[in-house]
Structure 1
């Protein structure tokens, strides 16, 4: 049986049936320390799709790096069909500085597709497009909330793309939110090259979250199973379907002060429900925050000190016949029973 040709990336060649971590040169720091983007390549013996899994495009969104670490330890990858490109830290500059941005304060996810002679963000985006996206068929980009917020595990997809929606359903996150593509994002640039992207949002910036990590790893394994990259015995199909939403909105603070929120991510709310109360530091005036529309809380602030206009709660609109609580409980129960997570893989 003929062997697959080696996988070529940068100046490296990875032979079929092997795995290797390679470093793609990006730049030099101001003290002349070289900076690179590290990619772990698993090139299967048998042909199949090429999938990339990327994390920390925003340097403070560290949960994705943990998800990639756990993914690379799973035994299901030992008999991989196709090729997996795992990039746990895309924005190493922000990651080392605990910052969302690059040193020039640019947002990498607003700098695609980039150019080889532009800003540092533009150059890094260009390298990612040329070395990773152009070699892939599908991508999963891992994110978390930022700025002291937390997100319910969710998948965001481009509207009107049945193939992408099928991948999102296979992932099995509690919520699938169809959202418009942001200009100059990785998702937009990959879309122009015909590469489907799932965006996974979960947890909080600069924090690990066990549920977010478990949902992320299980979801990626299920997508690989759907793509026939791994054995059908790996990654059990979700026992409950994800909640579907096509729109969401933020409830913003009507005043500044001290916030006491009474609702959490994953809670279903009805019109008129009390979300929380804002008080002045003396307790002389209190402002109630009521929901104007029903839906599912998919994100919230963790800061108790807020200013007028701050985003407090992110709510997804869902169908009235959706039983959000049953869906989330069912998926959580399946995670607890999932054999993928041995004790030594849990923080």
Structure 2
């Protein structure tokens, strides 16, 4: 007996047949000029049944690595060989992307606006559209980000490490670091967790820049997750990921010019020098030291710092419970 034919997928009023790819525009709003504004999607509707996975990039409009990761992943996918469906939104915050801004025109952070509302602000309406047309159709999500505000991150997955389903996906993604991260009100991840949808948040590189290492790790990770879900043929075996339960940002004790002397991925011991802060006249210099044994997973790229600024993000790989304090990107 022949296998039952897979049904088409209808999204945004457009039908996508099994074994086909399609580009879809979801209307969002009308600009003051009278032009329309849409959320672009790429849909790969596999010929065979399977789960649905969404990929999202540029929820913050200045975070470009996710856009490139999705472009390269889509280039690898063949709908006729795919089991299930991939719904990709390379640029969710189109307004911010066009203006090279993290935010929407009203200065709202889209990643503090989920699950959104059909009658709310522009950010709320965009969040609602993404939830109803993309997230609610999916079984798993992968949200792609970079560091913000002149910060660069070592490739890492942030997720609920206490959830077995999510951890299985994180291990298959196999970023160098997998970090337990608390939920932020209004974030896409928090909205998905409330709906019972497993989600991985990938952090790698910095805003406004392509980072080839971050992009390569992201592409390989997404493809491994699709293989783990049996949506495509197995690829390379997943390398080990380092599970981190806590981390801390080392902050500036004084204002001045910061010279970084460590690197992303460096293993450090307590007291190791991470950099130094000096004034513009060279009259004073203060060492910045690692607070505990760990791995450098984030750094500032801006030498000009003020007292209290986040300088170096260190993942805690020690065992002392008094040190266990989660400290995600201050702006994510």
How far apart, CA to CA, are the structure 2 residues paired with 1:122 and 1:191? 18
SS at match of 1:155: strand
Q: Which residue of 2 aligns with 1:4?
A: 6
How far apart, CA to CA, are the structure 2 residues paired with 1:4 and 1:78? 12
Q: Are positions 1:282 and 2:281 aligned together?
A: yes
Once the two structures are TM-superposed, the CA of residue 158 in structure 1 deviates from its matched residue by: 1.2
Q: Which residue of 2 aligns with 1:328?
A: none
How far apart, CA to CA, are the structure 2 residues paired with 1:58 and 1:317? 27
Instruction: Tell me, yes or no, if the aligned pair for 2:54 and 2:134 is still in contact at 8 Å.
Output: yes
Deviation per CA, 1:254-299: give whole Å up to 9, x if none: 0111111100110111111111111111001111111221111100
Deviation per CA, 1:39-58: give whole Å up to 9, x if none: 11111111000000010000
Instruction: Tell me, yes or no, if the aligned pair for 2:259 and 2:277 is still in contact at 8 Å.
Output: yes
Q: Which residue of 1 aligns with 2:237?
A: 237
Once the two structures are TM-superposed, the CA of residue 307 in structure 1 deviates from its matched residue by: 0.7
Q: Are positions 1:186 and 2:185 aligned together?
A: no
Q: Which residue of 1 aligns with 2:108?
A: 106
Q: Which residue of 2 aligns with 1:131?
A: 133
Q: Which structure 2 segments of 5+ residues have no match? A: 320-332
How far apart, CA to CA, are the structure 2 residues paired with 1:225 and 1:76? 13
Q: Which residue of 1 aligns with 2:204?
A: 202
Report the number of matched residues.
Answer: 317
How far apart, CA to CA, are the structure 2 residues paired with 1:3 and 1:121? 39
Instruction: Tell me, yes or no, if the aligned pair for 1:168 and 1:176 is still in contact at 8 Å.
Output: yes
How far apart, CA to CA, are the structure 2 residues paired with 1:32 and 1:206? 29
Once the two structures are TM-superposed, the CA of residue 193 in structure 1 deviates from its matched residue by: 1.4
Instruction: Tell me, yes or no, if the aligned pair for 1:174 and 1:243 is still in contact at 8 Å.
Output: yes
Instruction: Tell me, yes or no, if the aligned pair for 1:259 and 1:276 is still in contact at 8 Å.
Output: yes
Q: Which residue of 1 aligns with 2:143?
A: 141
How far apart, CA to CA, are the structure 1 residues paired with 2:16 and 2:220? 26
Instruction: Tell me, yes or no, if the aligned pair for 2:18 and 2:79 is still in contact at 8 Å.
Output: no
Q: TM-score, normalised by structure 2?
A: 0.93
How far apart, CA to CA, are the structure 2 residues paired with 1:79 and 1:29? 40
SS at match of 2:147: coil
How far apart, CA to CA, are the structure 2 residues paired with 1:311 and 1:78? 47
Instruction: Tell me, yes or no, if the aligned pair for 1:279 and 1:285 is still in contact at 8 Å.
Output: yes
Instruction: Tell me, yes or no, if the aligned pair for 1:98 and 1:206 is still in contact at 8 Å.
Output: yes
RMSD: 1.1
Instruction: Tell me, yes or no, if the aligned pair for 1:114 and 1:123 is still in contact at 8 Å.
Output: yes
Q: Which structure 1 segments of 5+ residues have no match? A: 321-347
Q: Are positions 1:33 and 2:32 aligned together?
A: no
C-alpha distance 319-163 of structure 1, shift in aligned 2 (>3 A): farther
How far apart, CA to CA, are the structure 2 residues paired with 1:12 and 1:249? 46
Once the two structures are TM-superposed, the CA of residue 10 in structure 1 deviates from its matched residue by: 1.8
How far apart, CA to CA, are the structure 1 residues paired with 2:88 and 2:267? 35
Q: TM-score, normalised by structure 1?
A: 0.89
Once the two structures are TM-superposed, the CA of residue 159 in structure 1 deviates from its matched residue by: 3.5
C-alpha distance 122-75 of structure 1, shift in aligned 2 (>3 A): closer
How far apart, CA to CA, are the structure 2 residues paired with 1:115 and 1:170? 34
